[in-house]
Amino acid sequence: MKKLLSVAAFMLMLQPVFAQFYVRSSIGYNLPANSQLIGESSSLPYESSTTSYKGVYGSYGSGFSIQAAVGGSISGTLGYDIELGYLLGRKYTLEEFYEGYTDPDDYLATVDQSSQSFQVAPSLTFIAGIGKVQPYTRIGPVLALTSMRSEIMKKYNSYDYQTGQEIPYHEAEEFKFNTGFSFGFKGVVGVNYELSEMLYIFSEISFISLSYSPKERELVSYTVNGEDALDTVDPEYRKIEYKKEYEAHYYDNQPIREKKSMGSIGLHVGVKYVLK
């Protein structure tokens, strides 16, 4: 009898937690925060000796994002939320352009860089108000698994003095940057609007402080004039490991691991379904 009463008491204690259990989903766009230098674009006009340079700034945490989550009430205005998210990062383009004598694209090199990230964000939720409009805030850690791709394209025309013709040349490389998990923090402020007893719509602003540091870079594709040439690349160049520290001998050039910003300010809208 005592065991039965203990189980009943325990279930009564858990009742407030599951009384307001919900599922939600949202979609939105992240703007860059904690921007850093992505790289430089340059151009040299025809018959000019002056090259112009322009810095490209941003964060790899900006881009299109979707989330799905479950949560519930702990007591009163305090609750919990466990969110799974996916980020399709914005593409940043760097250009190196030299205007030629006969073709405006005599030399053009572009670098397209973008990221994608899977994120888990458990948090505590604080809700204000019990009417149709309910402001809320969430705060907690975020755990991210991020990868980045870099596509490099070089295009120019070389002059064949024997035939007097220009020969087009096109080279394309694709790199993949791999890393492990990175840890940061996420805060959210938003508003729920009640459509019915069990259905809500919401809008929110998220703030993410996060960075990631690639562990290695791998060349996954290399073509010359449309033909696969990956097998011709030196194995030491195809895969490079980034290290936090190393000892150099003469002209050894070991890439150092660097942190890349994943900070963002996100704008999202979504739907929440409450299970009473």
pLDDT, tens digit (0-9, with 9 covering 90-100), for 56-112: 999 999 999 999 999 998 887 899 999 999 999 999 999 888 776 555 556 788 899
pLDDT value at residue 103: 54
Sorted by sequence, the CB contacts under 8 Å of residue 133 that are 6+ apart come out as 191, 192, 193, 194
Q: What is the CATH number of the domain that holds 230?
A: 2.40.160.20
Task: Give the number of domains in the chain.
Answer: 1
The answer as to whether 10 is a domain residue is: no
pLDDT value at residue 19: 53
The answer as to whether 157 is a domain residue is: yes
The answer as to whether 61 is a domain residue is: yes
pLDDT band for position 20 (50/70/90)?
A: confident
Q: Are strands 211-212 and 36-44 parallel, antiparallel or unpaired?
A: unpaired
pLDDT value at residue 253: 62
Rounded to the nearest angstrom, the gap between the alpha carbon of residue 39 and the centroid of all alpha carbons in its chain is: 17
The answer as to whether 1 is a domain residue is: no
Q: Which stretches within the chain are classed as H helix?
A: 2-19, 235-238
Q: What's the pTM?
A: 0.80
Alpha carbons 86 and 103: distance in angstroms, whole number: 42
Alpha carbons 272 and 246: distance in angstroms, whole number: 51
The answer as to whether 164 is a domain residue is: yes
**pLDDT by residue (tens digit) across 129-182?**
778 899 999 999 999 999 999 999 988 777 667 777 777 888 999 999 987 789
Classify 123 as helix, strand or coil. strand
Alpha carbons 186 and 142: distance in angstroms, whole number: 6
The answer as to whether 30 is a domain residue is: yes
Q: Which domain holds residue 219?
A: 16-275
The answer as to whether 189 is a domain residue is: yes
- Token pair listed for 77: 């205005």
The answer as to whether 2 is a domain residue is: no
SS (H, E, C) 138-171: EEEEEEEEEEEEEEEEEEEEEEECCCCEEEEEEE
